Amino acid sequence: MILFCAKNGKASLGDDIYKHLVAESFYPESVLDMLDLSSEHKAVGAANRIEATIHLWNRRRNSKPSSLRESRESTKSSWVLVKDFMLDMDKKEYLSSRAENLLFCLKQRFPNLRQTLLDITKIQHNKVYLNSAYLRVKHWLEKLLTSEF
C-alpha cells in the first residue's frame, strides 16, 4: 500500500488517469482501454494505484484540513477558509466516486483478478484484531471459570 500512496491522488494515479477523472465527461471503459492491461500484473498494479488514491482521498476528506488548523497564521478570513475547505471536500468526493467507478469497471473486466494490497492489508488487520479479541475472551472465560461462586 505504501508503494502506491503518494502525497496526492494525481501523483498516485498518474497524469493520464487523473486527466480523465477530472474531465467533464468521464467514461471508465475508455480509460481502461487507454491503460496497458496486457497482463494480470499490470491490471493489479492499476487496481492498486486506483484503490490507494480512493483511500487517500477518503482519508483526507474525513480529516481536518491543514488550512483550518493553521488559520491563526493565515491572512485569509475564516469564511474563505471554510469555503475553500468545502470546495476541496466536494472535489475529493466527486473524484473519489469516479475512481471507485473506474475500479469497479476494472474488476468487472477482470473478474478473477488477484486481491489488491489494500484488501490484503485489511484481511491481515482483521486477523490481528480477531486474534486479540479471542485472547481477551479466552482470558475472561478463564477468570470466570476459576473464580468461586
Give pLDDT tens digits for 21-64.
Answer: 889 899 999 999 999 999 988 999 999 999 989 988 888 776 65
CATH number 1.20.58.1310 is the correct assignment for the domain at 9-114: yes
* pLDDT greater than 60 at residue 107: yes
pLDDT score recorded for residue 4: 47
Mean pLDDT for the stretch of residues 112-123 = 83
Residue with cell 477530472: 22
Give the integer Cα–Cα distance in Å for 125 and 123: 5
Q: State mean pLDDT over 99-105.
A: 94
Q: Which of 99, 97, 105 is nearest to 14 (CA)?
A: 99
> Full-prediction pTM beyond 0.75?
no
